Amino acid sequence: MCPRTEKQFEVIRKEKIELIKNTALKLFAANGYHSTSISKIADSAKISKGLIYNYFKSKEDIFSEIIEMGIDKMFENFTPNEDGHLEVEGMQNYIETIFKSLKENIDFWKFYYQIFVQADAQHILKAKMEKIMANFMITIVDYFHKQGFKDPQIEAMIFGALLDGIGLDYTIHPELIPLNEIKENLINKYCNKRIKL
């Protein structure tokens, strides 16, 4: 039997890291950050604690990587143009991406919304989100200003609260929330050129 190549080792390494993150995400979403230990992650993934520590320094390190992965997904289609301005097509793309992510990554979103009530985990999320959200809000306020909304700052806050509320409701009762209809309603409200309110 031939020894493994460097490329094969890298594939195995990536698979193990994904296994650890996905297992931790499910446990964090089901049980909360505080109640999920490295031992529980290892048992659930059917690997040793030592293997986890080969890839991650701590539970907080796993948590941080999951948050970064989720934030990247959350903003992957938030694409202002070269001048930093968001166009109508970019806003529609962003709304569609958020709704697609809600359907496809419900464990992440359950986990994300739970963090807001877990004092021991909030500081990690807050540190990662502050700068991103500040830039996001500047861009969204500018977008609503260009779209002719009377109070772009307030509209940006309403928009954010709507997305949070829809996401939270969907993670609790996905069978009761008509995501496609809500998505189309938001696109109709926020993606028509030169809205005047």
Per the structure block, which two tokens stand in for 15?
């698979």
Task: Please report the pLDDT score of residue 1 as a whole number.
Answer: 53
Burial of 160 from C-beta contacts in 10 A (0-12 / 13-18 / 19+): middle
Complete domains list, the chain, with CATH? 6-190 (1.10.357.10)
CB 36 within 8 A of CB 24: yes
Q: Which two tokens stand for residue 191?
A: 């993606």
Contact 88, 56 (CB under 8 A): no
pLDDT the model gives residue 135 = 80
**pLDDT on residue 181:** 96
pTM: 0.74
The confidence score (pLDDT) of residue 111 equals 80
- With vertex at residue 138, the alpha carbon angle to CA 120 and CA 99, rounded to the nearest 5 degrees, is 65
pLDDT along the chain (197 residues), means of 10: 73 89 88 88 93 92 84 72 80 91 86 71 67 82 92 94 93 93 95 59
